[in-house]
Amino acid sequence: MDLDAVKEHSALHAKPSGLVLQYGTAGFRTKAEHLDHVMFRMGLLAVLRSKQTKSTIGVMVTASHNPEEDNGVKLVDPLGEMLAPSWEEHATRLANAEEKDMPGVLMDISVKAAVNLQQDAFVVIGRDTRPSSEKLSQSVIDGVTVLEGQFQDYGLLTTPQLHYMVYCRNTGGQYGKATIEGYYEKLSKAFMELTKQASCSGDENRSLKVDCANGIGALKLREMEHYITQGLSVQLLNDGTKGKLNHLCGADFVKSHQKPPQGMEMKSNERCCSFDGDADRIVYYYLDVDGHFHLIDGDKIATLISSFLKELLLEIGESLNIGVVQTAYANGSSTRYLEEVMKVPVYCTKTGVKHLHHKAQEFDIGVYFEANGHGTVLFSKAAETKIKQLARELEDKKRKAAKMLENVIDLINQTAGDAISDMLVIEAVLILKGLTVQQWDALYMDLPNRQLKVKVADRQVISTTDAERQVVTPPGLQEAINDLVKKYKLSRAFVRPSGTEDIVRVYAEADSQENADSLAHAVSLAVFQLAGGVGEAPQLGL
């Protein structure tokens, strides 16, 4: 490792003194002007990780659903998954090292991680459409080349497409071709094969309005349109030609404000969906005949897909185990519907995609979606092999069901939540089951809920267990929550500390909105009193 060259190039990407950043689930994110040094250093780190794993590593320049002036970066591990936790620590340490210490820290990481510095390295790079992304991805390339790593710059990609490229490259093309055309061909072929199985399609060319958050999803959906020659036509809105990225649009805006994005003219009972800025989240919605807005979030997406998969498994008589993984934020009605009506087991993990993904890997077929619309379906290697075998061996209806499962395997992006892939799976399932958007929404009624935040002096006074559903400390808080919950029907409540700031998040649900609001407020007061609240005590309705 030529540390003199590293030092020389690093000076061109100097770190602002005193700036401290933390690599989390979303990688690094902050204002774009503070990220040049981080990008250069993540280029260096990607080379070390590639050498250590003897695999291609991905670097994605994006800040997802954040405002346009922000940016960020995250590394993608060999199987298209998130960076290993021990390397998250290396990333944080390297990004925060002062200029003079950085080469030493780099050397220390390579020793601690037992990196063979003679090993070849290959890094693939993608970026979103933010004005700052092109220059920042060039800083990543500078980091890769100074350590003599090989690279391919894919330019503009959705985040899930970069995950796909990494996985394809590290499986020798078994997962698919590591090109943008390979991605479109794989998904479109599976979609058309799947929708061909519909007994009566009725509406030959279903149309769907897609809010692309003025982001990369618009460019990529437009490129993909001519690959899907039947079954679906999409109308792209907020396609980046005029509005700002994620501003008053996108999945996060629609989910948090419970209203349509700007620029979306909706007729009653029209199917609409929103991507987020880097196209790894999707939510659906519609207006009913009375003009009321209905959101169909990740819970209902998981329910639709897992119910469909369970029906296919029953049809072929195969006992592959299927599980749905949720967090404590999943609506209680979705959990009840899955367990009691569909007889699909549900498991709860701590909040955060890495926890959900890890748990979903324990099943033959693991389905997970956060309420925000980020999620996917994971098939174990054994399950994939079995399904493909059955698609060749079974006869008639059973063979058809096995073939449909095989198509789903090809259609879903198993490396990460992927708005384009998830949209195509949802559309295919709606066609095959003959469901309208209203019928899908009516599978179960969400329990009214409320989320609040309480400012505290130190968030670390709160510790939790049971996938964040029970408080361990401070003493007396869980007992107070239990007593409050008993006062309302169909109710539950939990609190958890924020991962980034001194606030405690409160969630409550109950049989009516008034009761959910009242319970959330009462729990907020208990947190304020028992966990060191600061400022004014929480007020009902604020």
Residue 278 annotated in ligand binding: yes
| Catalytic residue status for 10 | no
Which pLDDT score is estimated for 206?
A: 86
Residue 327 annotated in ligand binding: no
User: What would the pLDDT profile of 416-465 be if each residue is shown by its tens digit?
Assistant: 899 999 999 999 999 999 999 999 999 999 999 999 999 999 999 999 99
Which pLDDT score is estimated for 490?
A: 95
CA separation for the pair 10, 99 (Å, rounded): 8
Residue 334 annotated in ligand binding: no
By CB atoms closer than 10 A (0-12, 13-18, 19+), residue 293 is: middle
Question: pLDDT grade, residue 498 (50/70/90)?
Answer: confident
Q: Specify the fold of 3-156.
A: Alpha-D-Glucose-1,6-Bisphosphate; Chain A, domain 3 (3.40.120)
Which pLDDT score is estimated for 24?
A: 86
CATH class of 298-421+429-442: alpha beta
Q: Is the pLDDT of residue 111 over 90?
A: yes
- Write down the residue that tokens 């990609």 correspond to: 157
User: Which conformational region is residue 236 in: left (phi greater than 0), alpha (psi within -120 to 50 degrees), or beta?
Assistant: beta
- Concatenating the DSSP letter of every residue in 341-371 gives IS---EEEE-SSHHHHHHHHTTSSEEEEE-T
Residue 280 annotated in ligand binding: yes
CA separation for the pair 373, 393 (Å, rounded): 36
Q: Specify the fold of 449-531.
A: TATA-Binding Protein (3.30.310)
Question: pLDDT grade, residue 200 (50/70/90)?
Answer: low
Instruction: List the catalytic residue out of 64, 110, 333, 334.
Output: 64
Q: Where are the domains of the chain?
A: 3-156, 184-296, 298-421+429-442, 449-531
103 SS3 class: helix
Which pLDDT score is estimated for 203?
A: 53
Per-residue pLDDT, averaged over 316-327, amounts to 94
By CB atoms closer than 10 A (0-12, 13-18, 19+), residue 332 is: middle
CA separation for the pair 3, 216 (Å, rounded): 37
Which pLDDT score is estimated for 78?
A: 97
184-296 and 298-421+429-442: same fold? yes
pLDDT averaged over every residue in the chain: 94
pTM: 0.93
Residue 496 annotated in ligand binding: yes
Residue 172 annotated in ligand binding: no
Question: pLDDT grade, residue 26 (50/70/90)?
Answer: confident
Residue 64 annotated in ligand binding: yes
Q: Is the pLDDT of residue 165 over 80?
A: yes
Domain 184-296 is of which CATH architecture? 3-Layer(aba) Sandwich (3.40)
Per-residue pLDDT, averaged over 32-40, amounts to 96
377 SS3 class: strand
